[in-house]
A and B are shown apart, each in its own frame.
Chain A
C-alpha cells in the first residue's frame, strides 16, 4: 500500500488535465511523435513537453528518441487493475466536471450580455 499510493497520486495528477487526457486518447490509436501529438493544441512546444513529462513520470506513457524524433506510446501494463478501475472513474468525473464548468460559464457569459 505504501508504494502504491504515490503512484496513484501521479496517475491522478496526470489525468487531471484536459490536454493530457487528450494526449492519452490520441495514443490509444498507436504510438505518435511529440510533434504530431502537439499539433491539435494551441500551445508552445516547451509547455506541451511539460505535459508529456508529467505523463511519463506517472508511467502512463513512455517515450524514446530516435534521431530527432521523440515517439510516445501508452504503457498500459504499468497500471495495476485497481488503479485502472479508479482511473476510469477519474476520467469520467474530470470530464463531467469540465463539461459542467463549460456549460455554466457559457450561460453566465450569455446572461451578462443581455
Chain B
C-alpha cells in the first residue's frame, strides 16, 4: 500500500490492550461514541452495518447545536484485523459527494505489548480539496487550532 505524502496520513500506535478489546471499542457503536469525537463535541453513530457495502454514518454534534453528518460505508471487513471505510460511497456502494471524501484503512495486529494499531487515511485529489477550500471550510491554521484550544479548555 503506497501512501501519497501530499494527501495521505498514516497514524500508528501500540495500544496496551488486547486486540479483542480494541476491536470491540471500534465495532460497538455505543463504545465508538465514547472516543470518536473530541469533547465537547459528541458523536452519534447513526448506522453501523459492519460488512462491505454496509452503512457507516456518524453525526458530530457541537456544543452550540452544530451538526456535521458524515455518511459513508464499509468497503472491507476482516474480523479482528482490518476495517476499510469511505465517505465517497454510502450504503450499497452508492456514489456520494461529501464535503470531505476520504478512505480510511484501519489495521490491528497482535503486539507483545498489546495491539499494533494503524490508520491510513487517504484523501481525494487536489481539485476536490481546492473545491472544499472555495466553499469556505478553510479559516486557516490559527482558527482550527483555536477551536481545539477551546475544546481542550472546556474539558479541563
Contact = CB atoms under 8 A, between A and B. Distances in A.
B21 A111 contact: yes
A55 B152 CA distance: 20
Interface string B9-21: 1010101111001
Interface size class on chain A is 35 or more
Contact of A74 (B18, B22, B121, B142): B142
A22 to B, nearest CB: 7
Contacts, number: 113
Interface string A71-100: 000101001011011111111011111111
Given A99-B35, A104-B25, A93 B121 contact: yes
Contacts of A86: 6-7, 9, 123
A54 interface: no
A64 interface: no
Interface in B24-53: 24-26, 31, 34-36, 38
7 contacts: A26-B149, A91-B145, A98-B13, A99-B36, A102-B35, A104-B25, A107-B24
